[in-house]
Structure 1
Amino acid sequence: MPLVYIIIVNYNGYKDTIDCVNSLRKIKYDNYKIVIIDNDSTNDSVKKLKFYLEDCTILSMKSNLGFAGGNNFGINYALKNNAEFVLLLNNDTIVKDDFLNNMILTFIKETNAGIVGCKIMYHKEKNRIWYGGGKIDWFKFIGIHFGMKEFDNGQCDFEKEIDFMTGCCMLIKKDVFKKVGMLPEEYFMYFEDLDFCVRVKDFGYKILYNPKSVIYHKVGLSSGGEESQFSVEWGTRNRIVFMNKYKKKVKNCRFISSQIFFYITRILKCIKYICNGKIYLAKAILKGIEDSK
């Protein structure tokens, strides 16, 4: 069995991180190590993690490096310590005991795979899909989750090549980092996984989805919800950054149409938020646009 380093980034979420690690302790895969990157938590996360997770490597950052920065620190540590594969895993997830075995099997079957992903279900509703594979919508410049919010009736139970794997859980071959580089840190949080997957495919690797590998996601807990002020602001900012970075993926006229669509829909969202008394979300959109410049 190849050595897998599992990288988990923690920020003030030691309870979720402990739950995640406890589920990892039950997996059938034998050759793995867990590295927890604490992104300068403001609570007593480090103290709690060191007490409850003595078998894990816990690395404390002096500042919050964001999702990409925190993971990159862990990836570098893993590569220096002979990792053959690196698994990026959100701390607010619970894994099934065979999830890692199934992902490794995909790599064994497909030698040109660079990233392998899994099926992700909602933690609170374990029969409802959060991610069943994904594609990039090059008009909206966003990642689309197949089957999202649908009840699981087997519609996402087919192995296939995909455009992107969410950073919630991606198993990455070590050679990818040597050729492609690390996660892009200009995003801080959101869209860095999408950007990384674009680059991985541009280098000729395949990104594959294995539905037999299943985890459960406490969606949105780390950022305050799927439509929190944080997620709206950073989602807005980073979508603009992503659009501008990869505008050459589409024709000029199509990119102009994408920009018009984006800003019109942001205006409509602002109006909707204001009408619903959520002025703070309208301000978050405006701040996201301003910060993208």
Structure 2
Amino acid sequence: MKQELKIPKVFIIVLNWNGWRDTIGCLESLQKIDYPNCEVLVIDNGSADDSVERIKGFLNSPPNKLRAAVYDLQFNLGFAGGNNFGIKYALESGADYVLLLNNDTTVAPDFLTKLIEVGESGKEIGVLGPVIYFFDEPRRIWFGGSRINRLRNKATHLHYGETRNLGTKFFETDYITGCALLIKKEVIDKIGPMTEDYFLYYEDADWNLRARKAGYKIVLAPAAKIWHKISASTKEFSPNYIYYHVRNGLILSRRHGTVLTKSIVHLLIAWTLAKQIVKLLIPSKRSWAKATINGISDFYRGRTGPITLNS
């Protein structure tokens, strides 16, 4: 008797924070995917608007056919905290894979099928993701792989802004962005969920690096495609953006850098602080300088999690 191949069970986690319009747009695109064995978990991270009611209303209205549930956390637990709630539920519900998907994305109908094909092609593949394009410029790449610079505490998107075709063959990369990150259950069982120390930014890079240290490959699957509306919930280069990138980049370096890179980073911090002190004298750059100084200060103070910046 011919044995039927098991189709892996995937839970798609969509985190919402005051963004029901984007979330519904994402869910509309997920209605069209061709992968047959998945469920969607919408995790509301303490929205102050009527997101929960709006999203539930959409899911309860025909012709919706998604297998989906909405969970209202009441409080903003951050990117990692909100997703970890969904990850715990998914693993307890029999997930073989968990997909983190930004609410401000839309997906190609076959994107998940393409990702699973790559994931199932090798046991050593632990984390994978699609090519991500700009929503407003559908042929222009936003994320086509990545490189982590351990000295500058910066993760760079490869092929950013390009319109080239990356082909169909998967390849290894430094990390997969949490905008669209597929991870195997066995990897989470081995390395645990995302750390919640970062609150916002770099927790995905940290998770990737932990997976690699555990012996898994991190790969990009160019045949899988999605589109991203970019920075819908947090304004890029706002003081919060600057603060979290500075502080969390340093936390990442401390946790994953070598002795040499850590030593060099401390020297670079001194130079960075000197520049920010000068920028405090320039009104147009003062808020950025304060955010940078606060990020460095809180790193040395061991402060993690969410913060409230004073202007």
Q: By the TM > 0.5 criterion, same fold?
A: yes
Contact 2:276–2:293, Cα closer than 8 Å, also in 1: no
1:274 shift after superposition: 6.1
**Runs of 4 or more off by more than 6 Å in structure 1?**
none
For the residue of structure 1 that corresponds to 2:148, the secondary structure is: strand
**CA distance, structure 2, for counterparts of residue 9 and residue 170 of structure 1:** 13
- Decide whether aligned partners of structure 1 residues 50 and 267 sit closer, same or farther in structure 2, where only a CA change above 3 A counts: farther
Once the two structures are aligned, what percentage of the paired residues are identical?
38
Quickly say closer, same or farther: Cα 1:153–1:285, change in 2 above 3 A: same
TM superposition shift of 1:290: 2.7
Is 1:7 the counterpart of 2:19? The answer is no
1:147 matched to 2:159: yes
Give the corresponding residue for 1:201: 212
Alignment of 1:107 with 2:115, yes or no, is no
Residue aligning to 2:106: 94
Alpha-carbon distance, 1:267 to partner: 4.6
Q: What is the match of residue 243 of structure 1?
A: 253
After superposition, the C-alpha distances for 1:61-98 in whole angstroms (9 at most, x for unaligned) are 13211000100000010111111111000111111111
Q: Tell me, which stretches of 5 or more residues in structure 2 are unaligned?
A: 1-6, 61-65, 302-311
Asked whether 1:63 is paired with 2:68, we answer no
**SS of the residue 1:230 aligns to:** helix
Q: CA deviation at 1:157?
A: 5.9
Q: RMSD value over aligned CA atoms?
A: 1.9
Count of paired positions: 288
Residues 242, 3 of structure 1: alpha-carbon distance in 2 compared, 3 angstrom cutoff: same
Unaligned runs of 5+ in 1: none
Structure 1 CA distance for aligned equivalents of residues 203 and 164 of structure 2: 31
Q: CA separation in 1, counterparts of 2:145 and 2:168? A: 10
1:17 counterpart = 2:23: yes
Deviations 1:150-201 (A, max 9, x none): x212257652111210111011111111111000110001010011111101
Task: Work out whether residues 2 and 84 of structure 1, in 8 Å CA contact, stay in contact via their aligned partners in 2.
Answer: yes
- Bigger Rg over Cα: 2
Of residues 80, 88, 95, the one that matches 2:92 is 80
In structure 2, give the amino acid aligned to 1:40.
G
Distance 1:85 1:59 in 2: 20
* Distance in 1 separating the partners of 2:192 and 2:24: 30
In the alignment, is the contact (CA less than 8 A) between 2:166 and 2:222 conserved in 1?
no
Partners of 2:146 and 2:234 lie apart in 1 by 22
**Quick check: 1:146–1:156 contact (8 Å CA) kept in 2?**
no
